[in-house]
């Protein structure tokens, strides 16, 4: 949906850096931004295997969420030392970086919109969850607004939703435009090379030597921000679950065909349900549908898998927007997530001078941003609250052996999707 851009050149030759960042997604670019803030004289190099915003980051659904989907855990009323109790504050630090960037760039709501989000229900089961969630938010004194069927219809333009809860803290972004802008925000001392995969790295005295197809980087430290691809270096084997989620977006339609607001974003009442966005544009409006999860240990998705997910999206779209009959899906895609069995990030100094910001466990725009900030601070020895929180997480739990892992992961995802029902 954005105009084409010319990618930055790939690396040719040998260069040196204080810190090299591998991966230019939410985590890697946020880490580089934080590094440049902490020490503007620091020489930072970023290498990206593909092109900016062409991967999963640019295809993100665009929610930078402040509140977890569930806040009923005892963790949120426990002691100050409980790591889970800090989730909301961590998320809001990520939003603060995004807001600072948006202000610096002078972005409008087409790229950065602090509009909040809706959790929507499609039946009695979802309605109960909405009410339960409101009670949870009440206990931790978070702002919210409950909407009945008529009220949420006035927002979405459809009578398909039976209730909703609105929370104001979520920011909605145009993910590809956001990540392009973040990549363009650095000073001259941050060098970014696209189409430059890091093939390997090895210790050379007190520094690290990173090999790329046509060049070498000699760096004092490395921040790994390439999520599941960290396994390409032999790291985190046996602890990362590679799960793909799928989305479809309609062709542009005349805004008059659908009432309500022209821009809104909704997550489902149940975590494994269906996310929906209405995206306005000059050529018309579009609806984004995100649903379906699969376990893909080989980190590849077939055209057939995307087609099967697309058929599910079509049914969900028709059930929610019968007034848009005849509007076709123009785009379909899949995006990778790296999860751990116990839901913790793979974070920290894994070898002297190598810092990991891996495994966001979903809500990638938020959690990956936060982990990138924390990795940057840790790499520079900054003693921050955020670093303490990330260091406080348990180690990722080892996964069961195959074939039990594939059988269990696939069954677990299927049961959770089935439990979401209409949602």
Q: What is the CATH number of the domain that holds 64?
A: 3.50.50.60
Contact 50, 194 (CB under 8 A): yes
Q: What's 350's DSSP letter? A: E
Does the pLDDT at position 1 exceed 90? no
Does the pLDDT at position 19 exceed 60? yes
- The answer to whether residue 363 sits within a structural domain is yes
pLDDT score, position 68:
84
Q: Average pLDDT in the 29-49 region? A: 97
Q: pLDDT confidence of 413, banded at 50, 70, 90?
A: confident
Tokens 């899906």 — which residue?
A: 329
- The answer to whether residue 365 sits within a structural domain is yes
Does the pLDDT at position 79 exceed 60? no
- For residue range 304-341, list pLDDT tens digits in order: 999 999 999 999 999 999 999 999 999 999 999 999 99
Number of separate domains in the chain? 1
Closest by alpha carbon to 368, among 213, 227, 240?
227
DSSP output for 238-276: TT-EEEEEEEEEEPPB-GGGS-S-SSEEEEESSTTS-EE
What's the half-sphere exposure (Cβ side, CA atoms, 13 Å) at 321? 25
- The answer to whether residue 280 sits within a structural domain is no
- The answer to whether residue 324 sits within a structural domain is no
Mean pLDDT (the chain) is 93
pLDDT score, position 71:
60
Q: pLDDT confidence of 422, banded at 50, 70, 90?
A: confident
Which one is predicted more confidently, 320 or 189? 320
- The answer to whether residue 358 sits within a structural domain is yes
- The answer to whether residue 245 sits within a structural domain is no
- The answer to whether residue 28 sits within a structural domain is yes
What predicted TM-score, i.e. pTM, was given to this entire model? 0.94
- For residue range 196-242, list pLDDT tens digits in order: 999 999 999 999 999 999 999 999 999 999 999 999 999 999 999 99
Q: pLDDT confidence of 159, banded at 50, 70, 90?
A: very high
- The answer to whether residue 127 sits within a structural domain is no
Of 108-112, 168-172, 188-192, the least confident: 188-192
Phi/psi at 144 (nearest 5 deg)?
Answer: -160, 170
Q: Where are the alpha helices (DSSP H) in 140-214?
A: 149-156, 175-183
Q: pLDDT confidence of 351, banded at 50, 70, 90?
A: very high
Instruction: Provide the domain limits for residue 381.
Output: 1-111+174-239+341-392
Q: Average pLDDT in the 57-65 region? A: 94
């Amino acid at each position: 949906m954005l105009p084409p851009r010319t990618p930055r050149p790939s690396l040719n030759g040998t260069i040196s850096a204080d810190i090299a960042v591998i991966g230019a997604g939410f985590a890697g670019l946020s880490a580089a931004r934080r590094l440049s803030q902490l020490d503007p004289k620091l020489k930072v190099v970023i290498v990206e295997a593909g092109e900016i915003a062409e991967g999963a980051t640019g295809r993100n659904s665009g929610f930078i969420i402040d509140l977890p989907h569930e806040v009923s855990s005892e963790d949120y009323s426990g002691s100050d030392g409980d790591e889970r109790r800090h989730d909301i504050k961590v998320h809001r630090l990520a939003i603060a970086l995004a807001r600072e960037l948006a202000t610096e760039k002078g972005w409008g709501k087409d790229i950065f919109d602090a509009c909040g989000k809706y959790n929507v229900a499609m039946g009695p089961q979802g309605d109960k969850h909405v009410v339960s969630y409101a009670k949870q938010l009440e206990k931790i004194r978070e702002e919210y607004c409950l909407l009945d069927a008529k009220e949420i219809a006035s927002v979405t333009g459809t009578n398909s939703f039976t209730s909703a809860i609105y929370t104001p803290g979520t920011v909605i972004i145009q993910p590809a435009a956001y990540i392009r802008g973040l990549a363009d925000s650095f000073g001259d001392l941050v060098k970014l090379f696209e189409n430059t995969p890091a093939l390997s790295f090895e210790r050379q005295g007190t520094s690290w030597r990173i090999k790329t197809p046509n060049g070498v980087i000699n760096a004092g430290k490395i921040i790994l921000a390439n999520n599941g691809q960290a396994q390409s270096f032999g790291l985190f084997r046996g602890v990362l679950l590679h799960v793909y989620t799928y989305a479809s977006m309609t062709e542009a339609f005349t805004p008059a065909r659908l009432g309500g607001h022209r821009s809104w974003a909704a997550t489902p009442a149940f975590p494994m349900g269906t996310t929906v966005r209405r995206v306005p544009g000059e050529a018309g409006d579009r609806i984004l549908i995100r649903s379906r999860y699969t376990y893909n240990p080989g980190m590849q998705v077939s055209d057939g898998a995307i087609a099967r997910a697309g058929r599910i999206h079509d049914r969900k779209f028709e059930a929610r927007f019968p007034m848009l009959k005849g509007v076709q899906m123009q785009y379909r895609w899949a995006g990778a997530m790296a999860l751990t069995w116990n839901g913790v990030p793979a974070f920290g100094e894994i070898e002297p001078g190598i810092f990991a910001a891996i495994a966001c466990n979903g809500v990638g725009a938020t959690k990956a941003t936060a982990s990138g900030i924390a990795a940057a601070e840790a790499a520079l020895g900054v003693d921050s609250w955020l670093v303490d929180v990330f260091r406080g997480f348990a180690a990722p739990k080892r996964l069961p052996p195959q074939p039990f892992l594939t059988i269990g992961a696939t069954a677990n995802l299927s049961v959770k999707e089935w439990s979401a029902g209409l949602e």
